[in-house]
Structure 1
Amino acid sequence: MLYKIRSTRGRFGISVLLSMSLLAACGSNQTDMSGSKANPTVAAKNPEAAVSAERVFTDELGHEVILPKPPVRVFAPYMEDALLSLGVKPVAQWSNGNQGHRYLQNELQDIPKLDFSGGLPSSEVLLSYNPDLIILHTANYADNGVYENYSKIAPTYVFSNAAGDVEKSLEILGELLGKTDEAKQALDNYRRKVEDAKAAIEKNAADKKVAIIRFANRGVSLMGGNYFCGYVINRHLGIDMTKLTENENSLNFSLEILPELDADYIFVINAYGQGTERMKEMTESSIWKSVPAVQRGHVYEVNDEYWLGSGLIAYEKVVEDVVRVLSP
């Protein structure tokens, strides 16, 4: 039996999934999400100076980034979650086609969308938004002359992989935007929520293992504990992942491997609704129905909007879902 975790006015309920027509697999091709912690140099030229003074930073690719004044018009595609955690709205938001981060659209509904499905926007398009700071969340975004072109428009800071360590990335973002107090408060709130969650699930999570199966248009994979929702469950909540992903960020998954799945709880993601057929094929098979977690009813459909999100807002929602499932 497959259960679905739903969000209603910020709360989460679990109801029996009656149809396999829902759930979606992530069509976007995620770059390296190894979760390895980078050690960026975020060094203000004069740490004692007021935030309004010129500040100089070194980004994670070694570029010098000079901020002559506090940024106001920020463009940070795929980091909208982090910006909102700091109380900042970007001049434009990342989207895949016309679909932005759906779980953030209440806050971003008036922010123009820029389609990244065919690549990054041109310099001419970006210039029309008149940013005074550009932040690229992954080194891949800076390739093919993009950094050189964007840095002519505004100071441009590049993360090696901002999704690898969301907490560290938020601290850096707070430094760049002069929002260090806001970053500290957001992190403190999140960490308290994690500690409360660990206490709530301690009894049911002890010695248990979790598997996260992502159904996508390009195939089916098991997510490891080094990025996105896996990072939250494994690194923050301290729950072990299936042994199949102990040394993997992501593992191609199939019916042939399914009998080896040793998870006590299975979370299923159908990112962007593109994995419905693959999910139906697997979950209607006799092999699937013989898996112990399936027989115990410990399979849950989760919301791809934030389970594949990168930021504290998404992470908090994942924590809430896990508590809903694992608390007594």
Structure 2
Amino acid sequence: MSTTTVRRRWHAAAALVVTASLALSACAREDDGGSSDSASATHEVEDYFGTVELPVDPQRVVAGDGATLGNLFALGVKPVAAAANANSLPHHLAEQMDGVVDVRQGDDVNWEKVLELGPDLFITFAGSEDDAWNKELYDAATATGVPTFGYLYNYVHLEQIEHNFTETARAVGKEDVATERLEALHDRIAELAERVEQAGLGDVPVSVLRVGEDGFRSIRIGTSESIAFRALGIAQPEGQTDPEQFSIDISEENLDLLDSAHTLFVYEDDTGVGELDEVESSPLWEGLPAVQAGRVHQVSSGVWNSIDITGFELILDDIEEYFIAPAEAG
């Protein structure tokens, strides 16, 4: 997988990562006298870059990105701070942000603000298998003296979403919580997959259209919703099945690429309010089989853009409500 593709996925999913210079972090460390004492007990853990020493029971965690933030919440860990803006997070994360300090400063992290909070652990994703594309942020965090954990990150396949979750759990000593949560997720996937098969939905193709600002439109084929379709045995149309392709850019002029979709899920970015009206005014839109049959479902952009484990579970809920249950009801 190319570096460009991974970075594109990162920005397209609105993962909120910030970078900072080593000089800034060093200055903050001098001004504040270093981070607060970590938990008394520490242990050695392997992260993306090697062996790091972390507190066994961290109490004041800082999330360096939105994906880590969501997975911390799912583990029952409320961080003291995050490099994330509550106003741009999915609702299921934003509603948990009370008391979590936003430590962003433009496109950087305000390390002085971080250190004032006395953190004992900073967690963020480090990069993909062949490219540590978030190393600058990782290095800036370690330069402050705060114990830092970076993990291998991706979200093209279900096992990668699970890996992001279990790595975050490993950093905060919540492996047992992660195991229970994933066991429940696997049970739910198995139950829904069986219902898909029994309802004869396995060969009924489903497409997802994302609508954004400034005319941005794309068919989603390599993001969380497509991971859910594949896990449940739900088909996607020909030409929309390669998750490594990530997405297919379209416009009002070639909406007929959605002709083969039996059911269509659509979401409009918060920054693209009103853009869906423009799409729906296209004659090609009115001619789509899914539109004519009333099988178009508008869903939350925040949820369907999610890359945390809770967001994935909420996508499963939508698929059950709008696709599986109606078929079962006849």
TM-score under structure 2 length normalisation? 0.76
Q: Per-residue CA shift, 1:74-129, capped at 9, x if unaligned?
A: 1123122211221111111343474333222333323223447x323132222222
In 2, the alpha carbon distance for the partners of 1:99 and 1:317 equals 18
Q: Which residue of 1 aligns with 2:291?
A: 294
CA drift at 1:260: 2.7
CA drift at 1:30: 4.4
Q: Is the 8 A contact 1:138 1:159 kept in 2?
A: yes
In 1, the alpha carbon distance for the partners of 2:44 and 2:96 equals 31
Q: Which residue of 2 aligns with 1:156?
A: 148
Q: Is the 8 A contact 1:212 1:266 kept in 2?
A: yes
Q: Which residue of 1 aligns with 2:98?
A: 109
Q: CA 1:53–1:238 in structure 2 vs 1: closer, same or farther (change >3 Å)?
A: farther
Secondary structure at the counterpart of residue 87 of structure 1: coil
Q: Is the 8 A contact 1:138 1:162 kept in 2?
A: no
Q: CA 1:198–1:135 in structure 2 vs 1: closer, same or farther (change >3 Å)?
A: same
Q: CA 1:267–1:110 in structure 2 vs 1: closer, same or farther (change >3 Å)?
A: same
Q: Which residue of 2 aligns with 1:209?
A: 205
For structure 2, which runs of at least 5 residues remain unmatched after alignment?
Answer: 1-6, 14-38
Q: Per-residue CA shift, 1:9-45, capped at 9, x if unaligned?
A: xxxxxxxxxxxxxxxxxxx9742789xxxxxxxxxxx
Q: Per-residue CA shift, 1:255-297, capped at 9, x if unaligned?
A: 333223221111101122x223432222121111111111111
In 2, the alpha carbon distance for the partners of 1:263 and 1:284 equals 19
In 2, the alpha carbon distance for the partners of 1:237 and 1:52 equals 45
Q: Which residue of 1 aligns with 2:84?
A: 95
1:264 aligns with 2:262: yes
CA drift at 1:318: 0.9
- Residue 83 of structure 1, aligned match among 72, 91, 105: 72
1:137 aligns with 2:125: yes
Q: CA 1:216–1:229 in structure 2 vs 1: closer, same or farther (change >3 Å)?
A: same
Q: Is the 8 A contact 2:56 2:172 kept in 1?
A: no
Q: Per-residue CA shift, 1:164-206, capped at 9, x if unaligned?
A: 4221121122222111110101101111121222233331522
In 2, the alpha carbon distance for the partners of 1:283 and 1:114 equals 39
Q: CA 1:204–1:32 in structure 2 vs 1: closer, same or farther (change >3 Å)?
A: farther
Mapping for residues 3-22 of structure 1, pairs under 5 Å: none
Q: Which residue of 1 aligns with 2:322?
A: 325
Q: Per-residue CA shift, 1:230-263, capped at 9, x if unaligned?
A: 22222x2221223233232011111333223221
1:124 aligns with 2:112: yes
Q: Is the 8 A contact 1:190 1:312 kept in 2?
A: no
Q: Is the 8 A contact 1:95 1:101 kept in 2?
A: no
1:306 aligns with 2:294: no
Letter in 2 for 1:233: F
Q: How many residues align?
A: 279
Q: Which residue of 2 aligns with 1:67?
A: 54
Letter in 2 for 1:207: D
Identical columns (%): 24
Which has the larger share of helix?
2
1:31 aligns with 2:5: no
Q: Per-residue CA shift, 1:196-218, capped at 9, x if unaligned?
A: 22233331522011111111125
For structure 1, which runs of at least 5 residues remain unmatched after alignment?
Answer: 1-27, 35-50
Secondary structure at the counterpart of residue 195 of structure 1: helix
